[in-house]
Amino acid sequence: MTKLSVNVNKIATLRNSRGGDTPNLVKVTSDIEAFGAEGITIHPRPDERHIRYQDTRDLKKIVTTEFNIEGNPIPKFIDLVLETKPTQVTLVPDGIDAITSNAGWDTINNKDFLTEVISTFKKNGIRTSIFVDADIKMIEGAALTGTDRIELYTESYAKDYEKGNKNSVIAFTDAAKVASKLNLGINAGHDLNLDNIKYFKDNIPNLLEVSIGHALISESLYLGLENVVNMYLNKLK
């Protein structure tokens, strides 16, 4: 079964919009785990516009499932990861002003940098993952960095699926097969939702984990948070 890691950034965004502590991020995160989620993902950015660096420290104390921290490995981010020691760190090449992640790593041109960062994290017992497009060359490049896993950037799949083009999953299937041959674990995320998640999961061999935030929280406004978490779990079986 593919694990569901819930990204709670949107809960922090809602909290920050009023400047108080409602909804309480720690309480909601605990509830999400109680509802069955097998992991919690956060993506702190330098401007702390949703997840704050202190949130990372607070969540580290209470998360009982897998804790995944995503982000661009600038010095401040690296220090935070080494301090909190999550289960997994996912390296994402997003710019400081990016609204959301919008590209995977060029693992060839950034090989030396990624290798150094990954080595540091692995020496501290932290599993590593690199955010990549469904590009065979980039996946082959990722394998050379020493990373444990890749996370397939699934925005293009989600957009094509919505248009009725299910064949777009083929590139991801091929990418996953190559990753498996290279002994890389396979994660996936970005714009996956209740409509497209099952087809993706059914066509991606050895898919270990999906990270879902924006869609899951949005769907929960209509269907309820506990219900939606379990709907995802059922589709991932």
Query: Which active-site residues does the annotation give?
Result: 43, 70, 190
Nearest Cα neighbor of 9 from 66, 38, 50, 39 is 50
Give 237: exposed, middle or buried? Use CB within 10 Å, 0-12, 13-18, 19+.
exposed
CB 213 within 8 A of CB 8: yes
Nearest Cα neighbor of 52 from 61, 44, 62, 64 is 44
Q: How far is CA 39 from CA 6, 64, 105, 157, 164, in A?
A: 6, 8, 23, 23, 30
